[in-house]
Amino acid sequence: MKPTAILTAALLCVLSPFSFAKPLKVFILAGQSNMEGHAKIETFDYIGKDPLTAPILKEMRNPDGTPRVCDKVWMSYLTGPYDGSANGEGLGKLTAGFGERGNNPTKDGGKIGPEFTFGITMEKELNEPILIIKTAWGGRSLNTEFRPPSAGQYKLPKEIQDQWDKYPQGAHGIPKLEDRKAWQDKKDAASGVFYRMMVEHVKKVLADPKRVCPAYDSKEGYELAGFVWFQGFNDLVDGTTYPNRNYDEYSRLMAHFIRDVRKDLSAPKMPFVIGVLGVDGEKNVNFRKAMAAPADMPEFKGNVVAVDSAPFWDHDIAAALENQDKHNKILATAYTLKKDGTLDPEGKWNGYWKPVGKARPEEQIWRFTTIDATEKKDLMEKSDRRFRDIKLPAGMEKWFMPDFDDSKWASGKAPIGKGVLKNWAHSGIVLGNFPSTWGEGEFLLMRTTFEVEDLSYDSYRIAGLALRRQGFHIYLNGQKIHTTNSSADVPRYGSIVLKKDQIQLLKKGKNVVAAYSNDLYDLNSSENYAAIDLRIEGITKADQEKFDLALEEVFSPKDREALKGASNGGYHYFGSAKIFAQMGKAFAEALVNLKK
């Protein structure tokens, strides 16, 4: 061999510790939804906008911009619904699409998790065939579904057991004494189920590696070259298993998990990476420390490493999402309220939309009546969700039509209400001084007439005060234009923008708007409460432009640009390929360093 060739070979040995190993290198990736990966391919461009991560994007794409296909990396990916009832195996060369797959576990889901850049990095490092076996399911905890066999039976912490003992009749989140054995039996039945699925699948693949990886040479065999564990959200938020945010039990379980995986796969020194959950960045300090703790145990020295994913948290996306939420709340809230429940005339966003009709909304006279359900099928026990349609008394079936005779109903100005909402946790607003009082019936029928001269607005909306846990129907000139049936009773004026076909119902001259709703029970007292008001408003194109410009103070063009790198909520790392790409690369580099 020439000197230059000897030198090159020597350098390759130093730079790539796996390069000349003969057995097929097998890597196992496992965990819950963040190991599945929720980063949509559409967020790839965002990676290239940061000089620090742009080089990663170049390795993730072909010259034509399509996702790269790794020639030497093959995937076996077992996943399925949260309960694991319809698991399926995704197979093929590694490329984008081996992330979360919803209800089609064998099909490309258009997303990536850590596996994509993990495989790209390993292929570049090893320059030889690689097999990745990935098993991941969303919503699974280490303390239950992934519970390792040697950890023993799940037991309540002493603090929680003492609390349960104080409430033998049960309480919120605490089962009755007679139900606790069934609770424990259910816990025991779920314990370790996904751990076993994971191990069984790995063994199935390794029984015939060539089924997945055509480059496998049975004469050379395979080597379990590393395991990456990335999980934690369900344990992070489990206050029953980890009271007072004491996560020492997670550290204990993680140590058992590493031992059991190595034992069950006959790989006593298999390199192991603990992907430390970095949701919310540098927050959740206690949990992150507990996750990483086993890496410092003497028995794992040199073959277990913790990789913190918090440094990859994207603070620009986090800030943009927060600002987007403020922006959306402004759009959804027509008017802010003062502490006494009346409209705040100084509200910053109040002046852009204008009332439609001659009379000011606060001067309009409403006709209203209340009724109770009388038929057995319409009756319902006291609960916090009671909005429903009932059979109306004879002669009232068309109560919402413009020509209905409501002359015998009560009359008054809105808001129409009853009761007092005190100590509202979200706002501190106290309501109760209503211009008109809701009757004794559970359901309210209300309607008003207004005269319209100008219909030159660019857009129209319903601005309504709704204090409800259930919902309401809204009618315009005899046609139902909106139904709300959701769990939200924050006292506010909501904004419901009308669609084109709904706007066409408005006409010059006489118009009738009507609403159907129900009162609310306070489950902690015998008092009922409710409040409702409706007004129709319009906005010109010029005022809409002013409004949009003012809103940029809250949600800027920079924020909108940042959100191109996100595809869902925060606990999935915003579904950001930039974050998942950095994590996968870091996990691979950590395993390489363990081998050096």
CA distances from 472 to 6, 334, 446, 484, 533 (A): 81, 17, 11, 5, 11
Residue 569 is assigned to a structural domain of this protein: no
Instruction: Average the pLDDT over each of 1-15, 117-131, 342-356 and give the range with the smallest value.
Output: 1-15
Q: What percent of the chain has pLDDT over 90?
A: 79
Residue 107 is assigned to a structural domain of this protein: yes
| Section 388-414 average pLDDT | 96
Angle at 556 between CA 550 and CA 559, to 5 degrees: 155
Confidence of residue 164 (pLDDT cuts 50, 70, 90): very high
Same domain (yes/no): 181, 117: no
The whole model's pTM is what?
Answer: 0.85
Return the pLDDT at 529: 81
Q: What percent of the chain has pLDDT over 70?
A: 92
Same domain (yes/no): 199, 67: yes
Same domain (yes/no): 338, 247: no
Distance in angstroms (rounded) separating the CA atoms of residues 494 and 335: 7
Residue 556 is assigned to a structural domain of this protein: no
Element of type H or E holding 521: strand 520-521
Instruction: Average the pLDDT over each of 412-421, 467-476, 535-544, 547-556 and give the range with the smallest value.
Output: 467-476
Same domain (yes/no): 362, 306: no
**41 neighbors 100 (Cβ within 8 angstroms):** no
Per-residue pLDDT for 284 more than 70? yes
Per-residue pLDDT for 13 more than 80? no
Helices (H), 17-155: 33-36, 44-47, 54-60, 115-126
Q: Which residues, in sequence order, are CB contacts of 87 under 8 Å at separation 6+?
A: 78, 79, 80, 105, 197
Return the pLDDT at 346: 86
Same domain (yes/no): 136, 163: no
Bridge partners of 143, per DSSP, are none
End residue of a domain, out of 137, 169, 190: 190
Classify each residue of 531-546 as buried b or exposed e, where b means 16 or more C-beta atoms within 10 Å of its C-beta: bbbbbbbbbeeebeee
Which amino acid is it at 589? E
Total residues found in the chain within this entry: 596
Q: Which residues, in sequence order, are CB contacts of 346 under 8 Å at separation 6+?
A: none
Confidence of residue 340 (pLDDT cuts 50, 70, 90): confident
Residue 127 is assigned to a structural domain of this protein: yes
Nearest Cα neighbor of 547 from 353, 378, 416, 365 is 353
Distance in angstroms (rounded) separating the CA atoms of residues 258 and 304: 9
Q: Which residues, in sequence order, are CB contacts of 41 under 8 Å at separation 6+?
A: 67, 96, 97, 110, 111, 112, 577
Return the pLDDT at 339: 81
Angle between helices 541-551 and 315-332 (to 10 degrees): 140
| Section 508-514 average pLDDT | 97
In tens, the pLDDT along 26-81 reads: 999 999 999 999 999 999 999 999 999 999 999 999 999 999 999 999 999 999 99
Distance in angstroms (rounded) separating the CA atoms of residues 127 and 19: 6
Per-residue pLDDT for 367 more than 70? yes
Mean pLDDT of the chain: 92
Per-residue pLDDT for 489 more than 80? no
Return the pLDDT at 488: 57
Return the pLDDT at 525: 65
**566 neighbors 317 (Cβ within 8 angstroms):** yes
Residue 470 is assigned to a structural domain of this protein: yes
Same domain (yes/no): 290, 400: no
Which residue has better confidence, 467 or 11? Answer: 467
Distance in angstroms (rounded) separating the CA atoms of residues 516 and 472: 5
Distance in angstroms (rounded) separating the CA atoms of residues 15 and 421: 69
Distance in angstroms (rounded) separating the CA atoms of residues 221 and 22: 8
Same domain (yes/no): 270, 354: no
| Section 319-342 average pLDDT | 91
CATH number at residue 298: 3.40.50.1110
Same domain (yes/no): 460, 525: yes
Same domain (yes/no): 267, 407: no
| Section 78-96 average pLDDT | 95
Q: What six digits make up the tokens of 269?
A: 């020194």
On the 0-12 / 13-18 / 19+ scale of CB atoms within 10 A, 65 is exposed
Residue 416 is assigned to a structural domain of this protein: yes
Instruction: Average the pLDDT over each of 340-354, 470-484, 520-534 and give the range with the smallest value.
Output: 520-534
Q: Is the peptide bond before 415 cis (omega within 30 degrees of 0)?
A: yes
CATH number at residue 426: 2.60.120.260
In tens, the pLDDT along 222-264 reads: 999 999 999 999 999 999 999 999 999 999 999 999 999 999 9
Same domain (yes/no): 431, 468: yes
Per-residue pLDDT for 403 more than 80? yes
In 10 A of CB 172, how many CB atoms? Answer: 5
Classify each residue of 179-205 as buried b or exposed e, where b means 16 or more C-beta atoms within 10 Å of its C-beta: eeeeeeeebeebbbbbbebbbebbeeb
Residue 570 is assigned to a structural domain of this protein: no
- The structural domain count of the chain equals 3
Same domain (yes/no): 207, 303: yes
Nearest Cα neighbor of 254 from 226, 232, 285 is 232
End residue of a domain, out of 190, 214, 244: 190
**483 neighbors 473 (Cβ within 8 angstroms):** yes
Domain extent at residue 435: 324-551
Per-residue pLDDT for 155 more than 70? yes
Return the pLDDT at 524: 63
Which residue has better confidence, 341 or 403? Answer: 403
Per-residue pLDDT for 3 more than 70? no
Residue 290 is assigned to a structural domain of this protein: yes
- The bridge status of strand 222-230 relative to strand 39-40 is unpaired
Same domain (yes/no): 336, 425: yes
